[in-house]
Amino acid sequence: MRIEESVKLDFKDVLIRPKRSTLDSRKNVDISREFTFKWSKKTFAGVPIIAANMDGVGTFAMAKAFIEDGNGLSVALHKHYPLKDLQGFYKENGHESVWYSIGMVKADEEKLDEFIKKGGKPDKLCIDVANGYSEHFVGFVKKIREKYPQKTIMAGNVVTGEMVEELILAGVDVVKVGIGPGSVCTTRRMTGVGYPQLSAIIECADAAHGLGGLICADGGCTVPGDVAKAFGAGADFVMLGGMLAGHDQSEQEVIEEGGKQYLQFYGMSSSTAMNKHKGGVAEYRASEGKTVRIPYRGSVHGALQDILGGLRSTCTYVGARRLKNLSKCTTFIRVSQQLNTVFGDN
């Protein structure tokens, strides 16, 4: 047994210090980014925020709303759409705004192979497992990279620099970072495993950038300020679940009760998801996700305005003319939890 003594931080443990700035309006801030991916050599241009590949978030309707919004945000589609529906979506909307998600199960890989064989062009792949630390996962990533050298691959999840490096060397363009911070995740409670998300982002970004790779901070953002903190910490992309759930674009039924409207939101390894997609919870694995009800919030366009407006405003507070410079302009100050959870009005 060993104890690591250095303190690791979460979003709630810090605030961003304002700095003298020449920017007079948040309209003058550019929050889009351009990347060339290390392995695929493909390029990305747009606001680097990705809707999580979860039921109620990673939907076709969300992708269409993002296209309409025009800021270049993207959606990691949940992996439960039938092939026929995926073919229709890509034919109609192209591949720019979506990531095609797979897990390590054979059926996912076969569906992807068939999609491509039949002329589908999923340019960006998201290989998603709860625990990105297994040798088997690294082997799987290598296999997909060899099979599809020109696809952009995002894969995870991990939380430490050495594993980020191993995945990038195995062929990953964007490493997904986050174990346990998700709003409907119970991994920390069920297993005791996890890593405070802000420190995970700082350490993993450093490791990835040293090798010419990128990271996507996945999970734990609950307010627009958290998204800004994730970018300030060095994230290249930020993935959002709960913040984008509960909207018209969730493709889910609105529940009416006591004069209020709700939507169900659940983790993708919750018993709700497993019952829906796999016909029950497999005996050997505990459910590591929970099911919650969230108030119905109308169209996602309002939430997007808040998130993007908040991010622009952060950039003006620290003098970053472009999102690319936000991390260089960020000084985090540590605060007591109480200070940061009681948000003032100004």
> What residue ranges bind ligand 5GP (CB under 6 A)?
52, 54, 130, 157, 178, 182-185, 187, 218-221, 239-243, 267-270, 288-289
Taking a C-beta distance cutoff of 8 angstroms, is the pair 52, 244 a contact?
Answer: yes
**Smallest distance from ligand 5GP to CB 117, Å:** 29
Closer residue to ligand 5GP, CB minimum distance, 240 or 307: 240
Distance CA 309, CA 332 (A): 20
**Smallest distance from ligand 5GP to CB 28, Å:** 29
Closer residue to ligand 5GP, CB minimum distance, 127 or 240: 240
Coil, helix or strand at residue 76? strand
Taking a C-beta distance cutoff of 8 angstroms, is the pair 282, 180 a contact?
Answer: no
Q: How many CB atoms lie within 10 A of CB 242?
A: 21
Taking a C-beta distance cutoff of 8 angstroms, is the pair 132, 167 a contact?
Answer: yes
Closer residue to ligand 5GP, CB minimum distance, 239 or 320: 239
Under 8 Å CB-to-CB from 39, ≥6 apart: which residues? 145, 149, 152, 153, 171, 172, 173
Distance CA 154, CA 40 (A): 11
**Smallest distance from ligand 5GP to CB 141, Å:** 17
Closest CA to 343 of 15, 9, 10, 3: 15
Under 8 Å CB-to-CB from 217, ≥6 apart: which residues? 177, 178, 197, 200, 201, 230, 233, 235, 237, 238, 239
Query: Which residues are catalytically annotated?
Result: 185
**Smallest distance from ligand 5GP to CB 269, Å:** 4
Distance CA 316, CA 244 (A): 24
Closer residue to ligand 5GP, CB minimum distance, 269 or 316: 269
**Smallest distance from ligand 5GP to CB 328, Å:** 25
| Both tokens assigned to 311 | 């991010």
**Smallest distance from ligand 5GP to CB 176, Å:** 7
Closer residue to ligand 5GP, CB minimum distance, 204 or 240: 240
| Both tokens assigned to 48 | 């680097």
Closer residue to ligand 5GP, CB minimum distance, 196 or 289: 289
For helices 300-318 and 60-69, give the axis angle rounded to 10 degrees: 50
* Single-letter code of the amino acid located at 124: K
